[in-house]
Structure 1
Amino acid sequence: MKKLLFLSIISISLNSCFSAKGLPIKTINETDETSIPTTNASNLDHSAWNSLLKKYVAKNGDVDYKGFKNESNALNEYIHYLEQQAPKEDWSINTQLAYFINVYNANTIKLIIDNYPVKSIKDIDNPWLKNRFEIGGKAFSPAGLENGILRKMNEPRIHFAINCASASCPKLLNEAYTEKNVMELMERATKDFINNSKKNEITENLAKISEIFKWYKGDFNDDGTLQEYINIYSTVNINPNTEIQYLDYDWRLNDKN
């Protein structure tokens, strides 16, 4: 069985890699069927988060932050539960992905409602770099989780699963990620985002796309070009030499109200 990748915590800039010592992060490319063991981690309970999402997230991804604020105790209890579930070596890729995506999204909602009302996540002091939650007793920032753990798993679809509480973000799904559904939901989120004309304007010869593809370009063209990655999911097939332009990012809060 191939060894798991262990990382160490470091505090550097947003675009650098963050990580966590002692967390058994397994990358997609480092595994095969024999290296993903049967695990009891499927007992992880994301039902409380699923219930909150069903109540307060619309199908289009708009979020009822007032509703979340009214049930802040339930949200905080779920986040506390996640903090006690430090990843273990027998966790499958699916279990880890679902866990870390839910950690990121739940704590983003908490960040907003702790500062609500707010017009943009960028109006909050240092929203991504400040340590705001724990995993197994280790302090993390949102950037630390995204860059040091999720992006290390070599799964570019995570960029469409995690939500930054903004209008230009991929929509927050009103369903919790779990070991069983994480691959299906990431696939759905990626297709929905790329084919959303409010987020990307794609024609055969010109693709005006989200700045997400600019910020994390290396995550999408590791095995090919950005055009090739887009074609995997886009209903409009673009040419290999299609011009790429990036749309300005709208950081206004994705508030339902």
Structure 2
Amino acid sequence: MLRILTEGVENMVLSLKPIAYVALVVILLAGMWINGFPHASAANFPYSTYQQFLDRYVVPGEYIGGIKVNVVDYDAIQRDRVSPESLYEKILRQLLNFDPGNLQNKEEEIAFWLNAYNIGAIKMVIDHYPVDSIRSTKINWLKNPWNKKILTIG
């Protein structure tokens, strides 16, 4: 579940709430990777960069419960992020500069916030890399990571 906190009029901060299974994030990423994203309108987030990111860093994984899942190649993201022109850094800049108030309908809002959630989950791991889980004590020693500020949007 997403929780949006407003900081003034300009900024929106995304905090993550726990989901039942971390695999859900992987399945959502896999579905978006396979199906692609809707074409962006002038007011919409530039999904082409995120699609390039998924094409480069989401790779076939193993079977979990009889279902083949795709996984994020965090090693490759960590290696590539040293460049300010990396896809990872570009996506974070695009989120910072994007005004979600410009989204034109409910479908665009849902797509945007689901993708922002996934980008936030990836960022949380990358910011504390290497970790073995998004729930790692390296991310937040005293409590779960879901209430941490991780992304600034707009």
* Residue equivalent to 1:56: 57
Cα drift, residue 76 of structure 1:
2.0
Alpha carbons of structure 1 residues 19 and 65: separation in structure 2 relative to 1, 3 Å = closer
* Residue equivalent to 2:131: 118
- Structure 1 length-normalised TM: 0.36
Equivalent in 40, 43, 58 of residue 41 of structure 1:
43
Cα drift, residue 41 of structure 1:
2.1
Letter in 1 for 2:46: D
Cα drift, residue 90 of structure 1:
5.4
The Cα offsets for residues 66-109 of structure 1, whole Å up to 9 and x where unpaired, read as 01112224212211211211212652112111211121111211
- State the 4+ residue runs in structure 1 displaced beyond 3 angstroms: 17-23
* Residue equivalent to 2:120: 107
* Residue equivalent to 1:158: none
Alpha carbons of structure 1 residues 20 and 91: separation in structure 2 relative to 1, 3 Å = farther
Letter in 2 for 1:110: K
- How many residues align structurally? 105
- Structure 2 length-normalised TM: 0.58
* Unaligned stretches of 5+ residues in structure 1: 1-14, 24-38, 137-257
Give the SS at the match of 1:62: strand
Letter in 1 for 2:4: S
- Conserved 8 A contact 1:75-1:106: no
Alpha carbons of structure 1 residues 47 and 90: separation in structure 2 relative to 1, 3 Å = closer
Letter in 2 for 1:41: A
- Conserved 8 A contact 1:48-1:74: yes
- Conserved 8 A contact 1:112-1:121: yes
* Residue equivalent to 1:182: none
- Conserved 8 A contact 2:52-2:87: no
Query: What is the alpha-carbon distance in structure 2 between the residues aligned to residue 90 and residue 114 of structure 1?
Result: 28
Task: Give percent identity, aligned residues only.
Answer: 29
The Cα offsets for residues 110-131 of structure 1, whole Å up to 9 and x where unpaired, read as 2112212111111121421111
Letter in 2 for 1:82: L
Bigger share in strand? 2
Query: What is the alpha-carbon distance in structure 2 between the residues aligned to residue 45 and residue 90 of structure 1?
Result: 12
Query: What is the alpha-carbon distance in structure 2 between the residues aligned to residue 95 and residue 110 of structure 1?
Result: 22
Query: What is the alpha-carbon distance in structure 2 between the residues aligned to residue 19 and residue 112 of structure 1?
Result: 20
The Cα offsets for residues 15-58 of structure 1, whole Å up to 9 and x where unpaired, read as 9x8434467xxxxxxxxxxxxxxx7424x311111111111112
The within-5 A match list for 1:203-242 is none
Give the SS at the match of 1:61: strand
- Conserved 8 A contact 2:59-2:70: yes
Give the SS at the match of 1:53: helix
* Residue equivalent to 1:75: 88
* Residue equivalent to 2:19: none
Letter in 2 for 1:79: L
Letter in 1 for 2:152: E
Letter in 2 for 1:48: T
Query: What is the alpha-carbon distance in structure 2 between the residues aligned to residue 113 and residue 89 of structure 1?
Result: 29
* Unaligned stretches of 5+ residues in structure 2: 13-40, 61-68
- Whether 2:70 is the aligned partner of 1:66: answer no
Query: What is the alpha-carbon distance in structure 1 between the residues aligned to residue 72 and residue 4 of structure 2?
Result: 29
Give the SS at the match of 1:100: helix
- Conserved 8 A contact 1:79-1:107: no
